[in-house]
């Protein structure tokens, strides 16, 4: 009986570890480097205060407005493009999950998201009529 309980706990821990999917390449601190929403590029001046910190499945985003949002993300590195799901643990979208795609090349982390409840984007560009999609380009802080 005791061996069965230990086995069940071990299997549960393995399943829990597998569900917290992370991409270790994302770990680090980033600053805003560019992006767009609804076909319009972000204002470079607004991006200068954007900061993002990723540690495993945890993230903290500072948008430069004084608002700081923490949350959890999961990724699927087997998809092409790689997928990312982010759930804010604070802020105006607390508890809501947004679906996205991402790529990391060198010190650049590019991500495209849709608003909560909308389908996952399929590309790293937006169009004028695609309300609620955005692309962020992050630069790693060395």
Report the CATH number of the 22-140 domain: 2.40.128
Write down the pLDDT at residue 46. 74
Enter the tokens of residue 65: 């407005």
Write down the pLDDT at residue 130. 66
Q: 3-class DSSP state for residue 19?
A: helix
Distance, in Å, from the CA atom of 73 to the CA atom of 60, rounded to the nearest integer, reads 11
User: In the chain, which stretches have pLDDT less than 70?
Assistant: 1-20, 130
So where are the chain's domains? Answer: 22-140
């Amino acid at each position: 009986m005791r061996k069965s309980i230990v086995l069940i706990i071990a299997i549960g821990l393995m399943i829990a570890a597998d569900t917290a999917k992370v991409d270790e390449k994302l770990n680090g601190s980033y600053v805003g480097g560019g992006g767009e929403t609804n076909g319009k590029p972000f204002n470079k001046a607004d991006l200068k205060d954007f900061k993002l910190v990723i540690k495993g499945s945890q993230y903290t985003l500072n948008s430069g407005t004084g608002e700081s949002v923490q949350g959890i993300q999961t990724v699927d590195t087997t998809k092409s493009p790689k997928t990312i799901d982010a759930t804010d643990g604070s802020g105006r979208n607390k508890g809501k999950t947004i679906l996205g795609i991402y790529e990391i090349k060198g010190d650049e982390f590019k991500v495209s998201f849709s608003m909560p409840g909308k389908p996952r984007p399929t590309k790293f560009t937006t169009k004028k009529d695609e309300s609620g999609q955005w692309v962020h380009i992050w630069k790693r802080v060395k």
